[in-house]
């Protein structure tokens, strides 16, 4: 028997509208005990907002506010999706590429969500494969941080001090501000 995504997907996923404030999004994540919310407009997928998106936005932009910033402004808009007729192997292959959650879309309409937890309930044997690949992706992200390049001396964009600088995350920073 081939398991289809539509058989195991979550139909009652946590979602918000694009104009929901970050405060509302965080409240919904806490209330639903989930790490993300689906951002949707009517029945259409507009994006996905994860805990990581919120933390990155708060860290990278000091003008972000919990009440003034909307989900649609910082959510990931290019989301990898899956169809309800696809089999579980298709979901596993997409998840092995680092996608922990896959919105399920049929004829342009958002109908569900499948997560790593859903897959593991059905196929616990893929746990090792998926977690190993997630660890590899995390390590490669860490390595990108260390691939900062020396750019001479100048004013640090974070602290404003004149010091030797490196380019990290597209910004010129001193070693003290770069956390390397």
Residue range 127-148: mean pLDDT, rounded = 55
Residue whose token pair is 């805990």: 51
pLDDT band at 162 (very low <50, low <70, confident <90, very high): confident
Reported confidence tier of residue 29, pLDDT bands at 50, 70, 90: very high
**Cα 78 from Cα 58, distance rounded (Å):** 20
Please state which CATH number belongs to domain 5-134.
3.10.580.10
Gap between the Cα atoms of 180 and 164, Å rounded: 14
Quick: pLDDT tens for 46-102: 999 999 889 888 888 878 888 999 999 999 999 999 999 998 888 888 887 878 899
Select from 18, 8, 13 the least CA-distant residue to 110.
13
Domain layout of the chain by residue ranges: 5-134, 144-178
pTM of the model: 0.66
CA distance 177 to 16: 35
């Amino acid at each position: 028997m081939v398991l289809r995504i539509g058989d195991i997907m979550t139909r009652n996923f946590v979602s918000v509208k694009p104009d929901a404030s970050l405060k509302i999004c965080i409240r919904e994540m806490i209330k639903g005990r989930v790490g993300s919310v689906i951002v949707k407009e009517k029945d259409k997928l507009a994006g996905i907002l994860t805990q990581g998106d919120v933390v990155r936005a708060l860290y990278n932009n000091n003008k972000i506010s919990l009440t003034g910033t909307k989900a649609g402004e910082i959510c990931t808009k290019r989301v990898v999706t899956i169809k309800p007729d696809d089999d579980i192997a298709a979901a596993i292959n997409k998840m092995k590429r680092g996608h922990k959650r896959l919105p399920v879309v049929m004829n342009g309409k958002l109908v569900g969500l499948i997560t790593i937890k859903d897959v593991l309930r059905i196929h616990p044997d893929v746990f090792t494969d998926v977690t190993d690949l997630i660890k590899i992706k995390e390590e490669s992200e860490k390595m990108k941080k260390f691939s900062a390049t020396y750019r001479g001396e100048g004013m640090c964009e974070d602290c404003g001090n004149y010091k030797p600088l490196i380019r990290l995350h597209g910004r010129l920073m001193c070693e003290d501000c770069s956390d390397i």
